[in-house]
Amino acid sequence: MTDVTFRVFRGAGTQGGFEEYTVQLSEGMVVLDAVLDIQASQAGDLAVRWNCKAGKCGSCSAEVNGKPRLMCMTRMNTLPLDQPVTIEPMRSFPLIKDLVTDVKRNFEINKRVRPFKPKPRQADGTHRMMQYDIDRIQEFHKCIECFLCQDVCHVMRDHQKPDFIGPRFLIRLAALVMHPLDTENRLTELKDAFGIGYCNITKCCTEVCPENIKITDNAIIPLKERVAGNFYDPLAWLWRKARGKRPDTRPGTE
Amino acid sequence: MNHETIEHDVIIIGAGGAGLRAAIEASGKGASVGVVCKSLLGKAHTAMAEGGMAAALTTADPRDNWEMHFRDTIRGGKMLNNWRMVKIFTQEAPDRVNELEEWGALFDRTDDGRILQRNFGGHQYARLAHVGDRTGLEMLRTLQNHGIHQGIEVYMECTVVDLLMDGGKAAGAFAYWRDSGTFVQFRAKAVVLATGGLGKCYTITSNSWECTGDGQALAYRAGAELIDMEFVQFHPTGMVWPPSVRGLLVTEGVRGEGGVLRDKDGKRFMFDYIPEMFAGEYAETEEEAKRWRPGVPEGPDARRPPDLLTRDVVARAIRAEVRAGRGSPHGGAYLDIASQASEAQIKKKLPGMYHQFMQLASLDITKEYMEVGPTSHYVMGGVRVDPETCSTSVPGLFAAGEVAGGLHGANRLGGNSLTDLMVFGRRAGAGAAEYAGALSAMPGVNPDQVRDIERLALAPFEESGTENPYEVMQDLQKMMEHDSGIVRAKEELADGLGKLRTLKERSVKVRVEGNRQYNPGWHYALDLHNLIMVSEAITLSALHRDESRGGHTREDFPESSPELEKVNTVVRNRDGEMAWEHVTREPLPGDLQELLSHPHLEEPN
């Protein structure tokens, strides 16, 4: 079997650099296998975050040859092996150690999203929802919170926009806004507190999503349209004026 | 030494389905609640659950009711279940499903917009509320997003080393932060264990690195009893190829959606393995099985296919086929959904499986057979608890979910685990909050105990150690796979106990490199103590059950014993040694007994 060279980032806080390790390739191998192999036999203290090793938990996010990927779903036979394979931590998050970053920021953002508030049940005690009405939300619920979209998003990566909640939470908002049972209006905070306007739909998030969620097309653009319709549509503005109604600006808890 | 100290009324260890549900309940009852978890929030093993959540909702089949769910669960558990737990469980299950929906979960729907239910092994009717093949993720995310607004504190990437005790009572937990390696003590009036399983005792497992039997071991060391530890579930369908993914779960939902098992020549072999207990309830010929359709209530002329027998039966059947030389090229059986459902159906109902095989095995399940074989998946046994409150024999200590034992008997039905997390997570949270509310003062901390825990935890950094923790763990896994695995015998089990003594000695001599900051070698070194302890409980319990039943198969005792049907194995710490005994189970009351048509089983193995 072939030997492959890995350049793995080692370091903590703001310090660190690449170290090389050689691993023997085996059939079906994924990048995470190689990292765990290095850990078990060459560097017992190599820090890496992982859980399911099946693409279902979204823990082992890293940048492989410069691309944000799940290490457990990156097959070695999809990489060029005549050169070293480079593994680095996600760059948008502060480094803890080696391949592990501090992603707590995402958990803080999530707390800013107001909870789901359903309509009352029907007389027979059920909630009725048609499958075709929830298909699109089930797509968003596939999100495994790997935060690769947050990592790659240039608004989060290159511009300091502390309000902007990022693609992960825009799809969470889309799932709530489109939920047939949710009774909250979430458009005001999307426009103001969550900064949806910062997204200029470059679709980088969609490209890296390991669950193949069409983040931009199916979540962000429809949300932008709703925000625009509610706040910036001149016809709707006239209509509301004539009816004596204000735009929907019920406040959130922000 | 002074450590960071955090106080709560209730500390919950584990943030999977059971832990989060317990936290929500305890917080709702006014307790101050802290959840301590080894990983990030939302990454717990619950996220891996695929097939669904069993409850007699009757949306897919109006003939279902809690009594039928009760009957199926006890028969699936080969009569060893604690019937009081099963009764509570089956009666409360529908409310727990509806509650998740109320918190935002989106289950797949029936044509009239209600919650759709799917077929699963051992369930008489279509009973599993599900979301494609990612039901666990939906449950976990729903609990997470609901839970963060309930005033619960979550302490992520924090591993508990031991429980703090005040006399014989639980007083909190001693832990380390994974990122910094520094210690923290959680003081609490009540502690809920919701730590999940122990699959990492075995080489081939569907479980993640986290499943190291922590809660079972913490409870044991605190003086609690463990029950039914010999019963480990080997899920019949794990991936077998390529080696990188060996053991990875292939959901039972594949068979629920019509998938069938075949030998190397394409023959459907499950017709040859219908146990006497289930005779007459499953299709007996391929021709009859073909008339059965998932989602359509079966009639007398189209009974369910035997591919949907309980997991213990299917796992043994696959193993027998492989041993007889009829297995697939890499030592498994073929699982075929390609010829049983359209490409569109497969992609809609099993998108995760499609993706998993495509990406990890370069195999298109809409066109080709999968190769599958048994993988260690779940432990039926666990901490012995009170059915109503989930309290253990240690005051102030509660347990719920996979870490607890009793509900599933000798074999768990698919779909019963997710429901277990919700039903008993809720009860444990309520039990702990009530117990904490009745205590006037915070229990004390014993500084000697803290010093001892700390010394043991830091031992791997001492120069004198010689063992590599990764190697000790691999040797343990190999031993368990060989001596205490899917098929067992007296000699090997006794031999295994001997090897465990050696492994225990090696585990205190491990040496890790580097410092305390996010150091997986050190983490493994500490996990080892728990793995070895639960391995001993499994092996010791297995050695003394001279019969085959459910997840416990003995080559030297292939039949089930009517005498042993009446007892459960309990292990506990007696003066530093693990002691076992068989305790007689409270018999089923007459009205519940009538639900089960066979008095005891004689199942060929």
Q: Verify that B195 and B325 share a domain, yes or no.
A: no
In angstroms, the CA B492 to CA A162 distance is 61
Q: Verify that B427 and B508 share a domain, yes or no.
A: no
Tell me, yes or no, whether B582 lies in a domain: no
Q: Verify that B117 and B19 share a domain, yes or no.
A: yes
Mutation target to probe the A interface, by most A beta carbons within 10 A, among B133, B518, B524, B528 is B518
Name every chain A residue with its beta carbon within 8 A of the beta carbon of B520.
39, 44-48
| B102/A44 Cβ within 8 A | no
| Nearest beta carbon to residue B141 from set A28, A131, A141 | A141
Q: How do B4-13 and B158-166 pair as beta strands?
A: unpaired
Give the Å distances, CA to CA, from B6 to B33, B35, B179, B186.
Answer: 11, 11, 18, 5
> Nearest-CA neighbor of B473 among A144, A36, A231, A87?
A36
Residues 6+ apart with CB under 8 A from B224: B383, B384, B392, B393, B394, B397, B399, B572
Instruction: Name the H helices within B350-402.
Output: 351-361
Name every chain A residue with its beta carbon within 8 A of the beta carbon of B179.
96-97, 100, 102
In angstroms, the CA B344 to CA B209 distance is 34
Question: Where exactly are the structural domains of chain A?
Answer: 3-101, 104-243
Amino acid occupying residue B86:
V
Q: How do B4-13 and B183-193 pair as beta strands?
A: parallel
In angstroms, the CA B237 to CA A47 distance is 32
State whether residue A241 is helix, strand or coil. helix
> Nearest-CA neighbor of B535 among B496, B491, B486, B487?
B496
Tell me, yes or no, whether B564 lies in a domain: no
CATH number at residue B333: 3.90.700.10
Q: DSSP string covering A84-144, please?
A: PEEEE--TTS-EEETTEE--HHHHHHHHHSPPP-BPPPPTTS-----HHHHHHHHHHHT--
Mean pLDDT in runs of 10 for chain A (254 residues)? 94 95 95 96 96 95 97 96 96 96 97 97 95 96 97 90 94 98 96 95 96 97 94 80 65 39
Q: Verify that B523 and B547 share a domain, yes or no.
A: yes
Residues 6+ apart with CB under 8 A from B173: B11, B13, B36, B160, B162, B163, B164, B185, B186, B188, B191, B218
Name every chain B residue with its beta carbon within 8 A of the beta carbon of A48.
520
pLDDT of B23: 98
Q: Verify that B312 and B282 share a domain, yes or no.
A: yes
Q: Of B519, B541, B558, which residue is a domain's last?
A: B558
Is residue B235 among the annotated active site residues? yes
In angstroms, the CA A209 to CA B421 distance is 30
Q: Verify that B217 and B255 share a domain, yes or no.
A: no
Residues 6+ apart with CB under 8 A from B429: B10, B12, B21, B22, B23, B24, B25, B26, B27, B28, B29, B192, B400
In angstroms, the CA A154 to CA A202 distance is 9
Domain count across chain B: 3
Q: Does B352 touch chain A (CB under 8 A)?
A: yes
Counting Cα atoms < 13 Å in the Cβ hemisphere of A115 gives 17
> Nearest-CA neighbor of B40 among A30, A110, A170?
A110
| B521/A44 Cβ within 8 A | yes
Instruction: Give the closest-approach CA distance of B210 to chain A in angstroms.
Output: 7
Instruction: Give the closest-approach CA distance of A62 to chain B in angstroms.
Output: 16
Is residue B146 among the annotated active site residues? no
Q: DSSP string covering B389-429, please?
A: T-B-SSTTEEE-GGGEESSSTTSPPTTHHHHHHHHHHHHHH
Tell me, yes or no, whether B591 lies in a domain: no
3 state SS for B34-101: EEECCCCCCCCHHHHCCCCEECCCCCCCCCCCHHHHHHHHHHHCCCCCCHHHHHHHHHHHHHHHHHHH
Cβ(B309)–Cβ(B261) below 8 Å? no
| A118/B519 Cβ within 8 A | no
Name every chain B residue with its beta carbon within 8 A of the beta carbon of A39.
470, 520-521
Q: Verify that B19 and B144 share a domain, yes or no.
A: yes
pLDDT of B1: 60
Give the Å distances, CA to CA, from A67 to A97, A204, A224, B340, B417.
Answer: 19, 11, 28, 38, 37
Q: Does B345 touch chain A (CB under 8 A)?
A: no
Give the Å distances, CA to CA, from B112 to A138, A178, B32, B108, B464.
Answer: 18, 20, 42, 11, 68
CATH number at residue B426: 3.50.50.60
Tell me, yes or no, whether B496 lies in a domain: yes
Q: Verify that B227 and B240 share a domain, yes or no.
A: no
In angstroms, the CA A173 to CA B92 distance is 32
Q: Does B469 touch chain A (CB under 8 A)?
A: yes
> Nearest-CA neighbor of B571 among B556, B555, B560, B583?
B583
Q: Note down the domain range covering B342.
A: 236-375
In angstroms, the CA A46 to CA A11 distance is 9
Cβ(B19)–Cβ(B194) below 8 Å? yes
Q: Verify that B104 and B18 share a domain, yes or no.
A: yes
Query: What is the count of residue pairs from A and B with beta carbons less than 8 Å apart?
Result: 168
Structural fold of domain A104-243: Fumarate Reductase Iron-sulfur Protein; Chain B, domain 2 (1.10.1060)
Q: Verify that B43 and B160 share a domain, yes or no.
A: yes
Mutation target to probe the A interface, by most A beta carbons within 10 A, among B35, B108, B143, B359 is B359
| A3-101 and A104-243 share one fold | no
Q: Does the domain formed by A3-101 have CATH 3.40.50.150?
A: no
pLDDT of B318: 96
In angstroms, the CA B107 to CA A75 distance is 32
Q: Give every residue of chain B whose pLDDT is below 50, as ranges.
A: 598-605
ipTM comes to 0.93
Q: Verify that B356 and B412 share a domain, yes or no.
A: no
Tell me, yes or no, whether B600 lies in a domain: no
pLDDT of B123: 94
pLDDT of A241: 75
| Nearest beta carbon to residue A131 from set B40, B108, B469 | B108
| A116/B145 Cβ within 8 A | yes
Tell me, yes or no, whether B19 lies in a domain: yes
pLDDT of B604: 35
Q: Of B540, B558, B576, which residue is a domain's last?
A: B558
Q: Verify that B115 and B223 share a domain, yes or no.
A: yes
